[in-house]
Amino acid sequence: MLLLKYILLNQMTNKLAILIFAHYLICISTFSQSVHVNVFDCIDKTKQVDLADITNRIQYIPLNSGKNAALIGRIRRIAANESYIVIYDDMTNRLMLFAENGFYLKDIMTKGKGPKEFIGITAIDVHTNNDILVLKNSEEIVIISAEGKIKEQFRVQGNPSHAKWLNGQTIILFYPYPDYLYNDGFEISFLDTKGKVLKNSLKNSLKHVDFNDLNPRYSCGWKENSLYYWNQFRDTVFTITQDMALLPRLILDQSKQRYSIELIKKGEMAKPGFSYNLGYVQNGYQEFRNMIFLALIYKDRLARIIVDPVSGVGYNLLHDYSKDHYLGFKNNLDGGSEFWPEFITAQGDMLMVVDPNKLRETFIKHQNAKMQTRFPSFQDSIRRNVIDKITLMDNPIIIKIEK
């Protein structure tokens, strides 16, 4: 009897091991089969996709001040979760905390050289547990609670360009070109909340960089429980997993029409008289639900591309340049501002910051043109609750597309 139990237990253990190994192979296969996107083909392949085609969940969040003065000059950085919005204004030199409804709560940090002061804010992020991550002066991490208390503060190696929460215990620092030269050649470092380096990734072999102070554009956002990382000088987009692994996610197949990366590194884009007719330049990457968004400039005009992450097929949303030019998705939900994502929260929501007077101008223009909206009640609601309440000196408004 004991022998029979042992045999059965051994068989069950073997089956479990086989199932675990099979699951491992499936995961490895899934991540190793990177999707390819032909970028130039997407620019030329146009298709009308409007905002109502991807969502019916839109929210307008005016950044109000209540009785407290919180006049915003220019939003340089923004981070948000379900409870808070964190704003860095580099004109008034303030790091401000707002409630999720846009009501001003407090200043978290201001300009200066003290513990809760800064010369400049390089990056901000807010975790789902409400801990606020601040990379200040490109050299120091500060972790602050929503109540304003400093929980941790430490210096970091080199001069990272970006910092982000991976989870409540792990921070990711990004050292894109040419910052990795000051981080032992690694583009990404994982740290604990005390500043200890847990792991380095994405080694670069380049020893010398010839550039004209022009760092690449890059983005790192959430897609379910993992992060994606893209920068302008790489053709591969990476997944960053919770166990600190970097896996190829997407490969952007560039063509000869792309403007030379080597010239961009040397600052060619910044020279007067540069013509984008020489080629296209990709300057943005975001993901939302089952969509990938690529932002490009080509022939002195914008290209806004939406890509299927499974097939790699993409279309340029700006399909008719003979009509009124717009930035991305035409807003046929309520007739408000055109939309293109600037930030993706950990909850999977898309955010875009708009000037309130520009929003009102666009809304009135769409009304006068009798633009058809998918939900007429939405148009009446935005007019009564947002447009009619805008004044000349209002703060920016956040447009939120909910997951």
Q: Quote the Cα angle for 396-397-402, to 5°.
A: 150
Query: What pLDDT is stored for residue 23 in this prediction?
Result: 43
Query: What pLDDT is stored for residue 312 in this prediction?
Result: 94
Between 318 and 102, whose confidence is greater?
A: 102
What proportion of the chain, given as a percentage, has pLDDT over 90? 56
When pLDDT is averaged across residues 271-283 and rounded to a whole number, the result is 67
When pLDDT is averaged across residues 233-258 and rounded to a whole number, the result is 92
Query: What pLDDT is stored for residue 271 in this prediction?
Result: 55
When pLDDT is averaged across residues 270-297 and rounded to a whole number, the result is 79
Query: What pLDDT is stored for residue 154 in this prediction?
Result: 96
Residue 202 phi/psi, 5° resolution?
60, 65
Query: What pLDDT is stored for residue 260 in this prediction?
Result: 78
Query: What pLDDT is stored for residue 140 in this prediction?
Result: 95
How many Å separate Cα 164 from the centre of its chain? Answer: 11
Between 211 and 142, whose confidence is greater?
A: 142
Res. 315: pLDDT tops 80: yes
**Model confidence pLDDT, tens digit, residues 6-15:** 344 455 445 4
Beta strands 281-288 and 291-298 are antiparallel
Between 209 and 142, whose confidence is greater?
A: 142
Give, in order, the Cα–Cα distances in Å from 58 to each of 86, 238, 270, 349. 20, 29, 36, 10
Tell me the three-class secondary structure of the chain, residue by residue. CHHHHHHHHHHHHHHHHHHHHHHHHHHHHHHHCCEEEEHHHHHHCECCCCHHHCCCCEEEEECECCCCCCCCCCEEEEEECCCEEEEEECCCCEEEEEECCCEEEEEEEEECCCCCEECCEEEEEECCCCCEEEEECCCEEEEECCCCCEEEEEECCCCCCEEEEEECCEEEEECCCCHHHHCCCEEEEEEECCCCEEEEEEECCCCCCCCCCCCCCEEEEEECCEEEEEECCCCEEEEECCCCCEEEEEEEECCCCECCHHHHHCCHHHCCCCCHHHCEEEEEEEEECCEEEEEEEECCEEEEEEECCCCCCEEECCCCCCCCCCCCECCCCCCCCCECCCEECCCCCEEEEECHHHHHHHHHHHHHCCCCCCCHHHHHHHHHHCHHHCCCCCCCEEEEECC
Residue 355: how many other CB atoms lie within 10 Å: 15
Q: From CA 330, how far away is CA 335, in angstroms rounded?
A: 8
pLDDT band at 16 (very low <50, low <70, confident <90, very high): very low
Query: What pLDDT is stored for residue 267 in this prediction?
Result: 64
Q: In what order do the strands lie in the sheet with 281-288?
A: 281-288, 291-298, 301-307, 314-316
**Model confidence pLDDT, tens digit, residues 54-100:** 999 999 999 986 655 568 888 999 999 999 999 999 998 999 999 99
Give, in order, the Cα–Cα distances in Å from 59 to each of 24, 350, 380, 385, 397. 40, 10, 14, 11, 10
Query: What pLDDT is stored for residue 216 in this prediction?
Result: 79
Whole-number mean pLDDT of the chain? Answer: 85
Between 374 and 398, whose confidence is greater?
A: 398
pLDDT band at 327 (very low <50, low <70, confident <90, very high): confident
Query: What pLDDT is stored for residue 392 in this prediction?
Result: 80
Beta strands 218-223 and 226-231 are antiparallel
* C-alpha closest to that of 59 among 268, 269, 297, 352: 352
In a 13 Å sphere around the CA of 16, the CA atoms on its Cβ side amount to 6
Res. 28: pLDDT tops 50: no
Res. 225: pLDDT tops 60: yes
Query: What pLDDT is stored for residue 11 in this prediction?
Result: 52
Give, in order, the Cα–Cα distances in Å from 270 to each of 97, 176, 254, 282. 34, 19, 22, 15
Highest averaged pLDDT of the listed ranges 123-132, 175-184, 289-298, 360-369: 123-132
Query: What pLDDT is stored for residue 27 in this prediction?
Result: 43
Res. 397: pLDDT tops 90: yes
When pLDDT is averaged across residues 227-248 and rounded to a whole number, the result is 94
How many Å separate Cα 38 from the centre of its chain? Answer: 22
66 pairs with which residues across the strands? none
pLDDT band at 17 (very low <50, low <70, confident <90, very high): very low
Between 136 and 273, whose confidence is greater?
A: 136
Query: What pLDDT is stored for residue 69 in this prediction?
Result: 56
Query: What pLDDT is stored for residue 70 in this prediction?
Result: 64
When pLDDT is averaged across residues 237-263 and rounded to a whole number, the result is 90
Domain boundaries, the chain: 35-401
When pLDDT is averaged across residues 295-313 and rounded to a whole number, the result is 89
Between 214 and 369, whose confidence is greater?
A: 369
Res. 371: pLDDT tops 60: yes
> What is the CATH code for 35-401?
2.130.10
